Amino acid sequence: MTGREALVVQRRDDYGALRITENSEGYRFLYFGSLTEQSCVFMPDPAWLEYDYTRAMQLANFWVPAPAQMTLLGLGGGALANSLLRHFDPQQVTAVELRREVVTLAREWLGLSEDPRLQVRIGCAERYIDSAAASCDLLFVDLYMEGGLSRLQLQSGFFHKCQQALRPGGVLVINQWQMGESGLPYGASLLNELFGDQYLQVQVEEGNILLFIPAAGQPPLNLDRPAMHDWAAGLQQRLGYSLQLYINNLHRAADVVAPAD
């Protein structure tokens, strides 16, 4: 993407400033505060995913057949919700967003889908997940604030309840940030204590690490690369981009060797 960004709209809520900019190529960007680029939406096709991390999150659909009940903790600009609705035939997508103004901006300026299968709830992800046991097949956790990771993404109790929100056969997807150049997510020791070391993860260029974790009591997710490549090849023309690189880089948490001090 190139070109200078022009301001489209700016708002403020109880959590700080929000603004949307647009460049000459038709991309709009949602910012939290003045510097934190939170979302990117290609307005000619709001279901297009520009960020590597959102593309990689879609790998979870390999293990969960359609039609699935999907929950997103964190809506942002809505591009991931749009993509899931268009390409993966969900039964329903429930998006939980803390900031009402973010939802308003997504609807008015970022092409958030009007698909009747999309339900948006305003409120705290922690409060929502407290009463969401066995409620979904796919749970995407993507909680960031202006300063970075939400505090919830470093809390054992919260992640435990996220896993409990899955039905048997379900998959939890967590968008974490990498600790330096370690190849480890923030809270790696907490995550391993909760989920063991056989969950799958993939690191992307933006510095994010995506974690794929099975429902409680279920065996580790099958890492069958040939089958995943065949599945991804069937999606490529529809998506407009390839998921193959993310499949190649997918590995068990146990395979990450922490750098020496």
Q: What is the pLDDT of residues 148-163, one digit of tens each?
A: 778 888 889 999 999 9
| Length of the chain as a residue count | 261
pLDDT recorded at residue 258: 60
Q: Are 174 and 73 in contact (CB under 8 A)?
A: no
What parts of the chain have a pLDDT lower than 50? none
Distance CA 52, CA 85 (A): 18
**pLDDT at site 1:** 60
Tens digit of each residue's pLDDT (9 = 90 or more) over 74-125:
999 999 999 999 999 999 999 999 999 999 999 999 999 999 999 999 999 9
Indicate if the alpha-carbon torsion angle 134, 98, 179, 209 is positive or negative.
Answer: positive
pLDDT at 153: 84
- Reference 144, options 105, 118, 177, 119; nearest CA is 177
